[in-house]
Amino acid sequence: MRYLNRKFFGVGLVAALFLAVLPTSNAATATSAGLGTSCSKEKATTKGVSLGKSVTLTCKKASGQLIWTDTRVVNLSVIANAIKGGKNSSNAIWLQDYVIPNYTADAALRGYTVNVRFTGQGVADEAYKSGIALDLKAKTGADIMNIDGIWVGEFADAGYIQPLSKVVGASYTKWEGWSQINTAVQDLMSYNGTRYGIPQGTDGRILYFNKKIFAAAGLPSDWQPNSWADILAAAKKIKDTQPDVTPLQINAGTQMGEATTMQGALPLLVGTGERIYDPTTKKWAGNTSGIRKVLQFYSDVYGSKGYGNPTWQLTATGRDDSFQGFADGKVGILGEGDYGWRGVWNPATGNHKMATRNADIGFAKIPAYTPGAGIRGQNFVSMSGGGGYVLNPGTKNAAMTWDLLKFMNNRESIQASLNGAVKISQRNDVNNYITSANADTCIDFIVKNVMPITAYRPGLALYPAVSTEFQKATEAIVNGKSVAEAAAAYESAVKGIVGSGNVKSS
């Protein structure tokens, strides 16, 4: 394989042998007469076509081979909020030590002379966002930009980014990678049904449960609730049999911030068939049937039935306390992303290590309110987050910029970016290898069962403020407010943020 960087991987022989047989996605094929084909005399010249222009090609060495080469230098640049030894260090290492050297070598074998510059940053997300927004507004900046998925709609509405179809042309649809990325995952870097970029990894929300607690409650070890009523019924059995256990932890309140929205409120909302923002009607959910159902669920958990621990929802350390409670076998059911499995309770590296994780933790899909009631008529739902890469509409060489972005997202490159970690990527072919090679049942479960049905937050500037109001509504429930009071206050606040005409009630 041409561009395998063994030093970067630092993995064993088995992984190296696997990667060695992966197909290269950017094969050295001639794109015009002579370009990228072999030649016999170094420094000889000939006429040819490169990047749509008639040029003089030079016979030049590339990886020990003589290749007809366009010696004009194509300068490309990538920016990400990642820096070696600092924020998102692994991403910076991947870009600098794998992507750049391997892409330039691969391009050389196809007859192109390319120079790629990486601008690494290690600043607060809002500072990074402001910086690239200013660059895009001024029609400057890097050719390829790493952005959060929730910025896509905002940047698109501002005209800062353009659909791939406009920057690259219709040929962008022919990239082999699209067939390896679930349609639901493509939504991460899409807006109004249009692709603006390629996702860079993602995650998924599920329900975790403690099998020992379930056994004591007479519940099955392969539990899969089919409705919210099933979740509450399981919580009741746990409470009735084990009074010293917190039956159910669903994040609530402002202290947990976006974790409340993503781990609790939004997965529940899409389970009612509603979204926080409807891209079709361009309306935000106000005092709707779905919002009230979500708040009623919180009331069932934290109200008189006493299935949840209200203190955790109202204190700064509450999320960590709930993680520790689960690790200690004192929480029956907990809603969380794959981060809980691979990070929080990881027996070797977790913040709240759980030595018996593999044996004691079960996992289930999040059910819709009732079967078929979820978005898209789904029986089960989830929410995911993440970011990805977009192309600068002002790039001076769209063809080669797209070529680099494709390389960054081919099978080998994404495998390299994981560097042996068991983590969900955007590509199914990489996920299938990662999960089978590590026999990781939970990540495999999420990849196969959750990623095809997941949903994403709206990529709009007003979303964070609306999300905060949703958190406040759940906190009001924990503090004893009625569903009617919390829903009315939420709608009033949302109208103040987005305008009354942009809010839906039902």
**Calpha distance 367→374 (Å, rounded):** 8
Tell me 38's DSSP state. B
Helix H segments across 271-317? 289-302, 310-314
| Measured distance CA(132)–CA(80) in Å, rounded | 10
Summarised one tens digit per residue, pLDDT across range 277-333 is 999 999 999 999 999 999 999 999 999 899 999 999 999 999 999 999 999 999 999
Write out pLDDT tens, residues 56-106. 999 999 999 999 999 999 999 999 999 999 999 999 999 999 999 999 999
Q: Is the confidence at residue 29, as pLDDT, over 80?
A: no
Q: What is the pLDDT of residues 368-422, one digit of tens each?
A: 999 999 999 999 999 999 999 999 999 999 999 999 999 999 999 999 998 878 8
Domain ranges in the chain? 6-200+386-454, 205-362+465-493
13 or 81, which is more confident? 81
Q: What are phi and psi of 419, to 5 degrees?
A: 50, 40
Q: Is 205-362+465-493 in the same CATH topology as 6-200+386-454?
A: yes
Amino acid at 33: A
Whether the per-residue pLDDT at 8 is higher than 70: the answer is: no
Q: Which amino acid is at 185?
A: V
Q: How confident is the model at residue 360 (pLDDT cuts 50, 70, 90)?
A: very high
Q: Where are the alpha helices (DSSP H) in 99-227?
A: 100-109, 125-137, 152-157, 164-167, 183-186, 211-216
**In terms of CATH architecture, what is 6-200+386-454?**
3-Layer(aba) Sandwich (3.40)
Cα dihedral sign, 209-212-218-221: positive
The yes-or-no verdict on residue 165 having pLDDT over 80 is yes
* Domain 205-362+465-493: top CATH class: alpha beta
In the chain, DSSP finds a helix count (H) and a strand count (E) of 23, 19
pTM of the entire structure? 0.85
The model's pLDDT over 34-60, given as tens digits with 9 standing for 90+, comes to 899 999 999 999 999 999 899 999 999
Token code pair at residue 494: 């949302």
Does position 241 have pLDDT exceeding 90, yes or no? yes
What distance in Å separates the CA atoms of residue 343 and residue 345, rounded to the nearest whole number?
6
- The pLDDT, as a whole number, for residue 206 is 98
pLDDT, mean of residues 106-121: 97
Radius of gyration of the chain (CA): 25
Q: Are 392 and 159 in contact (CB under 8 A)?
A: no
Helix axes 483-498, 289-302, angle to 10 degrees: 130
